[in-house]
Amino acid sequence: MALRATIFKAELHVADNDRNYYGSHSLTIARHPSETDERMMVRVLAYALYADSEGHLAFTRGLSETDEPDLWRKDLTGDISLWVEIGLPDERRILKGCSKSLHACVIAYGRNAGLWWQGIQHSLRRVDNLSVYVLDPEATSALAELAAKKMTLNINVDDGHAWVSNDINVVNIQVVRLR
Residue-averaged pLDDT of the chain: 92
**4 pLDDT band (50/70/90 cuts)?**
confident
**63-77, 86-100, 103-117, 151-165: least confidently modelled range:** 63-77
pLDDT tens column, 42-51: 999 999 999 9
Give Cα 29 to chain centroid, integer Å. Answer: 12
0.85 cut: is pTM over it?
A: yes
Q: Where on the phi/psi map is residue 159: left (φ > 0), alpha (ψ -120 to 50), or beta?
A: left
Which CATH class for the 6-177 domain? alpha beta
Bridge partners of 27, per DSSP, are: 10
Instruction: Give the span between the Cα atoms of 111 and 76, in whole angstroms.
Output: 38
**pLDDT for 33 beyond 90:** no
Q: Could you state, in order of their start, the residue ranges of all structural domains in the chain?
A: 6-177
